[in-house]
Amino acid sequence: MNILSKIVKDKRKEIDLKKSLIPIKQLEASVLFQRETFSLAKALRNSSTGIIAEHKRRSPSKSTINQNTNVGQVAKGYKNAGVCGMSILTDIKYFGGSLEDLLLARACVNIPLLRKEFIISEYQILEAKAYGADAILLIAAILSKEEIKLFSELAKSLHLDVLLEVHNEDELHKSIMPSLDMLGVNNRNLKTFEVSLETSKSLSKIIPDDFVRVSESGISNIEAIQDLKKYGYQGFLIGENFMKTDNPGLSATEFIKKLKN
């Protein structure tokens, strides 16, 4: 069983438990459920840098990245750096994140927040809205075409942007539909964990121009972004590069300054 299958198996148990504790009506009664959302896709389209900065404490490929962060301070640092949006890992077991991280970031900043999660249920999309997200991630590798349609249309009805993540051409072909805002190409092979920006470059040719193109994983320098921009990418998801430092916000500030120059 590969890591993705393990995560999904655990996620099903987690969702069943949450549903028994917090009914949907309670999520819909949340104060944040009625708030107006910020569009991440629009922010990326209007930006010259396109940085989505991530909050990530650990990952299956790197057991510890940064366990000492205060998500509110990181969010403020990222906002001051001028990022287009912030991606927040909410998976506990494998990434050390939580929905509380999303809630705290929402209380601290008014920039688009992406709930980065392994979404396999409509319940998680309602959760995202209730905890202050502006956008959700859908991963083509763990969803059928029908699920992508169902989940993306639900998200749109809640005024949440949808970033659909693919790893290869097959996933891309099954995923293209009008209820998506952004198409993300993950440069990390989930079976081997190897990273190659060639994945983004090769798939760029078959991503329709209607979608904002986002490149994810393995982006650690200015040159990579300048190179990917030639292939039509407007969004660049960067996590580890900022998070492995003592001050992620400051790292993002310095990176964006260099990018602008």
Distances (CA, A) of 87 to 43, 53, 116, 117, 239: 14, 6, 6, 10, 8
DSSP string, 39-79: PHHHHHHT-SS-EEEEE-S--SSSS-S-SS--HHHHHHHHH
- Torsion, CA 172, CA 176, CA 181, CA 183, rounded to 10: 10
- Is residue 186 part of the annotated active site? The answer reads yes
116 labelled catalytic: yes
- Residue 188: how many other CB atoms lie within 10 Å: 17
The answer to whether 191 and 216 have CB atoms below 8 angstroms apart is: no
Catalytic residue among 116, 117, 240, 251: 116
Find the catalytic residue in 54, 127, 171, 240.
54
From the list 117, 127, 165, 240, the catalytic residue is: 165
Of the candidates 117, 127, 216, 240, the residue annotated as catalytic is: 216
Catalytic hit among 66, 121, 217, 251:
217
- Decide if 68 is catalytic: no
| CA 238 – CA 65 distance, rounded (Å) | 13
Taking the CA atoms of the chain, what radius of gyration do you get in angstroms? 17
Q: Is the dihedral of CA 27, 31, 34, 37 positive or negative?
A: negative
Please answer whether residues 85 and 236 qualify as being in contact, where contact means their C-beta atoms are separated by less than 8 angstroms. no
* Catalytic residue flag (residue 54): yes
DSSP letter for 106, please. H
Catalytic (active site) residue 187 = no
Identify whether 56 is a catalytic site residue: yes
- The runs of H, that is alpha helices, within the chain are 3-21, 24-28, 40-45, 71-81, 99-108, 122-130, 145-157, 169-175, 198-204, 222-229, 240-243, 248-260
Catalytic residues: 54, 56, 116, 165, 186, 216-217
